[in-house]
Amino acid sequence: MTDEQLAGTFAALYGYEPEGLWAAPGRVNLIGEHTDYNDGYVLPLALPHTARAAVSRRDDGVLRLHSGDVPGGVVELRADALEPGAPGLGWAAYPAGVVWALRDAGHPVTGLDLHLSSTVPVGAGLSSSAALEIVTALALNDLHGLGLRPWQLARLAQRAENVFVGMPCGIMDQTASACCTAGHALHLDTRDLTQRKVPFDLAADGLRLLVVDTRVQHALGDSAYAERRASCEEGAALLDVPALRDVAFGQLDEALSRLGDETLRRRVRHVVTENRRVEEVTARLGAGDTRGIGPLLTAGHASLRDDFEVSCPELDLAVESACAAGALGARMTGAGFGGSAIALVEEAAAEPVTKAVNAAFAAAGHREPRVFPAVPSAGARRLV
């Protein structure tokens, strides 16, 4: 859909031209999984896939929200009636939650007319929800002249998802959508929100990062996520540190020897070694050794599969078949139990690896996956 079509649909819905158009991307996380609620490090990059929105401000307290991607018409709400946890809003909870979070933080946001359309695959672990939140937050920031920085918009959007929508996600997705830059991954310290742009120019290196969207989402996901978070908190408490981020890699063996429970030991080991892998991947990319990150990606997958136990047969097969067909490294990305994997491949290997993954899924009787390249792209921006 072109910018003109986006604006045209807005005009057809609401009877006037939008004040502007904005875009916010989905993301993949290169490495650093289940570290963001342990005050640790993550290394996401923005996808070329974006949520785009045509938006105008309203000063009468009314929100009119429309997505061209879902059935149902315009959702109309009142800003002063927005309440966290109100059921039945469906997709509209994401943009409405952003309005609620801005107002709850004291910003004079009154209402809006919004029409959106997104190319971010939904529910694939690629943050279609954060893209929706950030495109709304950026539009309101511009239209109301709020002067909030991208990382502040990310914080507000996270609060919208945590409190208004009721999903206890970390800060990575929203920060990636708001703050990433083309040709880079974003190193984020989730404790103090310090950001570093890490060069990740795949094309210049003759490489591709393939995303394998397994198109499955196992029901276990939500309860397991809460259970893993609780384990991490328990581990930190037993080790007497504020968060598992504070367990140094060099002290891991000693720390593990102080934990009686074998499962808890493995959970802690994943988080501590994963933080270390983020730092190693970042160092290699900084040194121009992009190929050298391959084994670290694969080691990260093994840790998520064996120690953190959040993989699933489809993700394991994506990683194994990609590596067997010549990928330099591969791992599941996102919270697990479905969603997507990534594979780093030589440009010439992109096609054979894609074919091998498809063949392996067919042979195993799994649904056909969607495989596409992740080009490190720009974060949220105003289009018009």
Please pick, from the candidates 20, 125, 221, 235, the single residue that binds ligand ADP as defined by CB under 6 A: 125
Q: Tell me the closest approach of the beta carbon of residue 114 to ligand ADP, in angstroms.
A: 11
170 lies in the binding site for ligand ADP (CB under 6 A):
no
> How far is Cα 353 from Cα 152, in angstroms, rounded to an integer?
40
Which of these segments, 44-52, 123-131, 181-189, 351-359, binds Mg ion (CB under 5 A)? 123-131
Residues 198-227 touching Mg ion, rule: CB under 5 A, are none
Judged by beta carbon, residue 129 or residue 136, the one nearer Mg ion is 129
Strands, E, within the chain: which ranges?
Answer: 20-29, 41-42, 44-58, 62-67, 75-78, 111-118, 184-189, 195-199, 207-217, 329-333, 338-346, 370-373, 381-382
Pairing of strands 111-118, 62-67: parallel
Judged by beta carbon, residue 48 or residue 326, the one nearer ligand ADP is 48
128 lies in the binding site for ligand ADP (CB under 6 A):
yes
Q: Which does 295 bind (CB under 5 to 8 A by kind): Mg ion, ligand ADP, none?
A: none
Active site residue 192: no
Which of these segments, 1-9, 14-22, 26-34, 122-130, binds Mg ion (CB under 5 A)? 122-130
Judged by beta carbon, residue 114 or residue 357, the one nearer ligand ADP is 114
Tokens standing for residue 205: 């290196």
Q: Which of 111, 132, 129, 128 is nearest to 120 (CA)?
A: 128
Q: Tell me the closest approach of the beta carbon of residue 96 to ligand ADP, in angstroms.
A: 11
Nearest residue to the partner Mg ion, using Cβ:
129
Please pick, from the candidates 127, 231, 303, 321, the single residue that binds ligand ADP as defined by CB under 6 A: 127
One character per residue 101-120, x = contact with ligand ADP (rule: CB under 6 A): -----------------x--
354 φ, ψ to 5°?
Answer: -60, -45
Q: Tell me the closest approach of the beta carbon of residue 161 to ligand ADP, in angstroms.
A: 8
132 lies in the binding site for ligand ADP (CB under 6 A):
yes
In the sheet with 207-217, reading across from the earlier edge strand, the strands are 329-333, 338-346, 207-217, 370-373
Residue 211: left if φ>0, alpha if ψ -120 to 50, beta else—which one? beta
129 lies in the binding site for Mg ion (CB under 5 A):
yes
69 lies in the binding site for ligand ADP (CB under 6 A):
yes
> How far is Cα 323 from Cα 321, in angstroms, rounded to an integer?
5
Cβ(378)–Cβ(24) under 8 Å? no
> How far is Cα 184 from Cα 377, in angstroms, rounded to an integer?
8
> How far is Cα 238 from Cα 259, in angstroms, rounded to an integer?
7
Q: Tell me the closest approach of the beta carbon of residue 22 to ligand ADP, in angstroms.
A: 14
Catalytic residue among 36, 113, 173, 307: 173
CA angle 310, 188, 176 (to 5 degrees): 80
Residues 243-262 touching Mg ion, rule: CB under 5 A, are none
Cβ(146)–Cβ(340) under 8 Å? no
Please pick, from the candidates 9, 50, 67, 290, the single residue that binds ligand ADP as defined by CB under 6 A: 67
Q: Name the one residue in this structure whose structure tokens are 């003109």.
A: 4
Q: Which does 118 bind (CB under 5 to 8 A by kind): Mg ion, ligand ADP, none?
A: ligand ADP
> How far is Cα 41 from Cα 33, in angstroms, rounded to an integer?
9
Q: Tell me the closest approach of the beta carbon of residue 357 to Mg ion, in angstroms.
A: 24
Contact footprint for Mg ion (CB under 5 A): 129
Q: State the catalytic residues.
A: 173
